[in-house]
């Protein structure tokens, strides 16, 4: 629908501007309050930390989108004018700022498709870390070296994202070790399993598995030992790997378990 500038401005009732601004300010304060409450609840109930963060993200997402839409809608004199001009502005926005529009639409898809959630430990390309926030335009991920990476939501539509815990607090961790193929594998399994279950980070309600595979690489003949176990919290991943590796090395040295063999 073609409208000149006079008709467009006449469709607005600027006397409601203060009311619209009040709605945006209240929504902003509410979003900040939700975030503060979420942090306190997460500290008080650590077992429900991820669930609390996910609910907070959803509430804030709805607050932002809803308050902006309501604030703009209240400025129009009639519903018909709102629909007509809103459609024209939306079309112009989609054409003129297609990257931003794509990120906004992708944000809605990411939020409601739930391919990953706040608190998930994800791998996206070269990025590996915890999802801090899923916003209207972008998602923030904190890597394991404590860097914050902001990724436009539109990028998630064309590239695979791996979630290590899929919304759960616990996650599976793999620890690789290498021994001589002549080693007593029963003893090796016993030592590795003991190192895992004695860790304060391990989640014993899920299985602890030790797997073996003979391999040859770069003139070395060895047996790969792969430990698969779950940690209580995704944040314990690297601590668990370090604890297990240290304890296994001490146990191998005590029981004289040899390392990989070199080809001559």
Residue 258: CATH number of its domain: 3.30.70.100
What would the two tokens of residue 13 be?
């009732």
Confidence (pLDDT) at 213: 93
Confidence (pLDDT) at 24: 83
Which of 17-21, 44-48, 200-204 is least confident? 44-48
The answer to whether residues 25 and 78 belong to one domain is yes
User: Per residue in 179-214, pLDDT tens?
Assistant: 998 899 999 999 999 999 999 999 999 999 999 999
Provide CB contacts within 8 A for 8, sequence distance 6+. Answer: 85
Cross-strand partners of 227: 175, 210
The answer to whether residues 80 and 127 belong to one domain is no
Which range of residues forms the domain containing residue 158? 121-163
Residue 152: CATH number of its domain: 2.30.30.60
Domain presence at residue 102: no
The answer to whether residues 16 and 89 belong to one domain is yes
Question: For the chain, what is the domain count?
Answer: 3
Residues 262/195, Cβ–Cβ less than 8 Å: no
Please report, to the nearest 10 degrees, the dihedral formed by the alpha carbons of residues 67, 73, 75, 78 taken in order: -160
Cross-strand partners of 224: 178, 213
The overall pTM is greater than 0.75: no
The answer to whether residues 231 and 254 belong to one domain is yes
Of 123, 228, 234, 121, the C-alpha closest to 169 is: 234
């Amino acid at each position: 629908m073609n409208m000149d500038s006079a008709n467009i401005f006449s469709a607005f009732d600027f006397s409601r501007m203060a009311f619209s601004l009040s709605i945006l300010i209240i929504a902003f304060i509410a979003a900040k309050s939700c975030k503060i409450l979420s942090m306190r609840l997460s500290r008080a109930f650590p077992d429900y930390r991820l669930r609390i963060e996910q609910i907070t993200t959803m509430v804030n997402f709805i607050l932002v989108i809803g308050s902006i839409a309501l604030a703009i809608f209240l400025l129009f004199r009639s519903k018909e004018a709102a629909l007509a001009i809103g459609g024209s502005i939306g079309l112009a926005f989609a054409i003129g700022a297609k990257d931003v529009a794509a990120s906004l639409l992708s944000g809605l898809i990411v939020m409601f498709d739930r391919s990953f959630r706040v608190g998930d430990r994800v791998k996206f390309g070269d990025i590996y870390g915890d999802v801090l926030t899923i916003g209207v335009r972008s998602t923030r991920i904190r890597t394991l070296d404590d860097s914050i990476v902001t990724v436009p939501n539109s990028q998630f539509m064309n590239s695979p994202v791996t979630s290590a815990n899929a919304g759960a607090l616990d996650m599976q961790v793999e620890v690789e070790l290498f021994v001589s193929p002549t080693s007593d594998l029963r003893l090796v399994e016993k030592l590795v399993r003991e190192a895992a279950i004695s860790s304060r980070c391990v989640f014993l309600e899920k299985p602890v598995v030790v797997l073996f595979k003979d391999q040859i690489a770069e003139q070395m003949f060895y047996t790969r030992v792969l430990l698969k176990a779950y940690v209580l919290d995704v944040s314990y991943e690297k601590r668990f790997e370090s604890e297990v590796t240290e304890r296994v090395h001490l146990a191998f040295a005590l029981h004289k378990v040899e390392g990989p063999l070199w080809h001559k």
